[in-house]
A and B are shown apart, each in its own frame.
Chain A
Amino acid sequence: MTVRFLPCGDTAVTVEFGDRIDRVVSEAVLRLNAFVRAANLPGVVETVPTFRSLTVHYDPLAADTASLIPEIEKLIDHGRGEAKPSKLWRVPACYATSHAPDLADVAHRTGLAADEIVRLHSTTSFHIYMLGFAPGYPYMGDLPDAMALPRRTDPRTRVPAGSIAIAGAMTAVYPVESPGGWHLIGATPIRLFDPRWPRPALFNPGDAVRFEPISEREFDAIRAAVAADTYRVACESVTG
């Protein structure tokens, strides 16, 4: 894997591992992210892992920029081949028509039965590549090829919070109400983002997610428990 260091002005450097969405590339990015965070390099203020690169933000008045790239290079070599522990989240998902405005359309476009789409979506273990677009928005993959569709040609101006969506090889959950162009095939009653939490996003890049089908009644019950702060999302530690 060829690694490139791309300057982002005088406040960040992007360490690029590739130019495609790929699990091997993603693992390399997430490994380096963990090592850079642990290394506490002088002046480094935060890191942002994406599909294919790690952006290392630094304070231009505090960082030793001459040694920053060599230090990061050392960490890349150091990190090869090691596994990083992460979490597997079990996310309740309601695929009933009332929560899945685009499911019929997705079935029509893909030629798959709606039941089959739900089965495929709820039996795949998804990898969280990155969070972006909006606070707490997880880009998760990969969808089975049979489900891959381009984005909607007419994006919605308002997608409800909790909507489970698909586009291309990705699936996501809208953490808060926002505009959106992905196909909505279900909804979760859980909260993915809350600025009152010390770490405001439930998921981290590198975590795994499985969607577990629930009924509309269960959806309402869980949503009430979430509102009362009495619901905990099931989660287990895994070594990826």
Chain B
Amino acid sequence: MTPEIEVIAPGLHTTVQDAGRIGFQDVGLPASGPLDRVSLRLANALVGNPPGAPALEMLLQGPTLAVLADSVRIALVGGDADIAIGFDRMRVVPAGRSVRLVRGDVFRVRGFGDSVCAYLAIEGGPDISPLLGSASTYVRSGIGGFHGRALRSGDRVPLALATVDVRDEHALSRPVELALEQPVRVVLGPQRDYFTDDAVATLLSSDYVISNQADRMGYRLEGPALAHAKGYNIVSDGTVVGAIQVPGSGQPIILMVDNQTTGGYPKIATVISADIPVVGRRKPGRAIRFVAVDVPAALRLRGEQEAAIRRDIENFRRVAKTGEIDLAALYTENLVSGVASALD
């Protein structure tokens, strides 16, 4: 019998994403991949997967899934989400630790808190053949992932592994920093010269709010309009994830991972790669403030972020395997009231 995960309820927008589809932007196909590559990578590491393995990206609301395999190991990373397993005798596993489940277990991914996105990694991953080198889903063109679309109720996603070992589980030593208040760092350009100096000053000194028109293609912002110096149409050129394009309305749009690969609006600035996950997580209604850095600083920040992720993975806590008492986990999971005082 094929090992599978069955979708009882799909959540709002749950797709398979891996490191992304590289090499086809010149034919108009964006890389896709995760909005928050840091959380995807940590989730994969918690279950022992390679960094770019496919996992489930969940936006705003998580799915309810049933295990149709002898056993699976899963880990959730993102916001304040947790996993509620079972109904009558519900176990709750917080984000940031792996857990082994067995056939028949039903689990719900609950409340993301302040994050748009959360990632559910599965040891061995979903069994999805890469399309053009990637398992990432590009829903707009129906390409990749699980039948090119978001999951629906009744879907059965095949898994690569039918069973997983009983072993110590892993947990993050510190939660992922959502960086909700952190200014988002940008490099000015590529079309800095299409904007007045006032527009650049406005961009760097105002609060912009993420509007409800925010999806994997782009986050439309609301705030003081940015004035163009030479009109708002340019001859189309290449775009990157993080480009802040400004159409005629003067309201900026941050292009995200399903971006159109070329565009005809000038781009005043570009969010640095280290801060794409910071923007990716931030919810509609939240503010963004921008601060300018140069390219060498952006590269250094990305290098520092990479080192921090590696440190986080090296510093995973070992958590006693299922069946053994793990007081620390019991405490954090808040399963047993009074545990803390009883130990004092």
Q: Contact residues of A with B, CB < 8 Å?
A: 6-12, 14, 16, 19-21, 33, 45-55, 57, 60-61, 65, 130-137, 139, 176, 193, 195-196, 198-201, 204-205
A12 to B261, CA, bound (A): 12
Known: A9-B298, A61-B306, A65-B295. A130 touches B262 (CB 8 A): yes
Interface residues of B in 107-142 (CB under 8 A from A): 131-132, 141
Residue of B nearest to A25 (CB): B235
Residue from B238, B239, B267, B306 whose CB has the most chain A CB atoms within 10 Å:
B238
* B166 located at the interface, meaning its Cβ lies under 8 Å from any Cβ of chain A in the complex: no
CB<8 Å pairs between A and B, sample of 20: A6-B191, A7-B189, A7-B270, A8-B238, A9-B187, A10-B187, A10-B295, A11-B240, A21-B235, A51-B237, A52-B237, A60-B299, A65-B295, A65-B296, A132-B28, A132-B236, A133-B260, A135-B29, A139-B236, A195-B144
- B interface list, Cβ under 8 A from A: 22-29, 131-132, 141, 143-144, 186-187, 189-191, 234-243, 260-262, 267, 270-273, 295-296, 298-299, 302-303, 306
Contacts of A204 in B (CB 8 A): 27
Using Cβ atoms and an 8 Å threshold, which residues of chain B touch A134? 28, 141, 260
Question: Are B299 and A65 interface neighbours, CB within 8 A?
Answer: yes
A96 CA to B146 CA in the complex, in Å? 39
Contacts of B243 in A (CB 8 A): 8-9
Bound Cα distance from A8 to B272, whole angstroms = 9
Tell me how far the C-beta of B273 lies from the nearest C-beta in chain A, rounded to whole angstroms: 5
Which residue of chain B has its CB nearest to the CB of A54? B238
| Complex partner residue of A8 from B28, B29, B190, B299, CB under 8 angstroms | B190
Q: What's the A-B contact tally at a CB cutoff of 8 Å?
A: 139
**Are A48 and B272 in contact (CB-based, < 8 A)?**
no
**Distance from B104 Cβ to chain A, minimum over Cβ atoms (Å):** 36
**Distance between Cα atoms of A135 and B132 in the complex (Å):** 13
Beta-carbon nearest neighbor of A10 in chain B: B298
Q: B27 touching A200 by the CB < 8 A rule?
A: yes
Residue pair B235, A48 in contact (C-beta under 8 Å): no
Q: Which residues of B contact A21 (CB under 8 A)?
A: 235
**Can you name the residue of chain B whose Cβ is closest to the Cβ of A18?**
B235
Residues from chain B with a CB closer than 8 A to the CB of A131 are 26-28
Shortest beta-carbon distance from A213 to chain B in Å: 27
A51 to B303, CA, bound (A): 33
Q: Determine the distance from Cα of A203 to Cα of B100 in the docked complex, in whole angstroms.
A: 48
Chain B nearest CB: distance from A57 CB in Å? 7
B26 contacts A46, CB within 8 Å?
yes
> 6 nearest interchain CB pairs?
A55-B238, A132-B262, A9-B270, A6-B190, A10-B298, A201-B27
Interface centre among A132, A133, A201 (most CB of B within 10 A): A132
Verify A61–B27 contact, CB threshold 8 A.
no
CB <8 Å contact, B22 and A48: no
| Nearest-CB residue, chain B, relative to A16 | B237
